[in-house]
Homo-oligomer: A and B are copies of this chain.
């Protein structure tokens, strides 16, 4: 895989941003292999993402960062510049439903997800054997209703010990406490098994069945304190009919959940998802 520096920027929109940034990169000899921009006309905010061939620049990411700082300051940018050789560290959290875990582990091994999966945390012990077959540490942290605070302190310790850049709730089925939502803001990705905002909360497939909808869906979103209400990264649907029982909906839903979570996570890892208030810009 080629080696890139990835520059991701958001700032107030004004004339000359692209000129300034692209000129800066050109002056260093940087070859841009992928470029995306977006101007939000409603809020007047500008977003951009560049992939720059590392070998085309005669400097480290660190050095590039230092020399970019004045440009960033000039335009009041929120920005990051990452070296794609430094892989993101991801922790997966699961409960008893294995489909998302199986799917992510497979994609990771197949090279589809540019990250290191550095641990799996679960409130059950069921997925240990599978996880360890992939050579990944498994942490069983039971969550007892009477004892949630202690459990989530352990979860936090595991996440911090693993130095995780990103936490994926791959059908974790427990609600993260506000303290964790805040601590890892913008870094926790959840898969919700409905087409949000329809059927937020518990048992969405049963809700969908009761309402008699003709399509079910899944939603990948960032976790915020308000349940199932964070910025949406990706959604997809599957057609259903009167023939299908709630069990069928759950089965179809598994396929949608896997696909939507994998796409959302991939885009997040590649720096393609920029949070903008309670929405996202996705340079997919």
Residues of A within 8 A of B (CB): 15-16, 18-20, 22-23, 25-27, 29-35, 37-42, 56, 98-99, 102, 106, 110, 112, 133, 195-199, 211-215, 217, 231-237, 241-243, 245, 251, 254-255, 259, 276, 278-282, 284
CB-contact partner of A213 in B25, B37, B106, B196, under 8 A: B196
CB-contact partner of A23 in B19, B41, B243, under 8 A: B19
Closest to A34 in B: B39
List the B side residues contacting A37 at CB < 8 Å.
32, 35
CB-contact partner of A39 in B22, B33, B251, under 8 A: B33
Q: Quick one: given A22-B19, A26-B19, A110-B98, are A280 and B212 in contact (CB under 8 Å)?
A: yes
CB-CB nearest 8 A-B residue pairs: A212-B279, A19-B26, A16-B26, A19-B22, A19-B23, A18-B22, A242-B281, A198-B198
Closest to A264 in B: B214
List the B side residues contacting A196 at CB < 8 Å.
198, 211, 213
Closest to A283 in B: B242
List the B side residues contacting A237 at CB < 8 Å.
215, 237
A18 to B15, Cβ gap below 8 A?
Answer: no
A279 to B242, Cβ gap below 8 A?
Answer: yes
List the B side residues contacting A22 at CB < 8 Å.
18-19, 22-23
Mind listing 27 A-B residue pairs with CB under 8 Å?
A15-B26, A18-B26, A18-B35, A19-B27, A22-B23, A32-B37, A33-B39, A34-B39, A40-B242, A41-B245, A42-B245, A99-B106, A102-B106, A110-B254, A195-B215, A196-B211, A196-B213, A197-B199, A212-B278, A213-B232, A214-B232, A214-B233, A214-B235, A215-B217, A241-B282, A241-B284, A242-B280
B198 to A215, Cβ gap below 8 A?
Answer: no
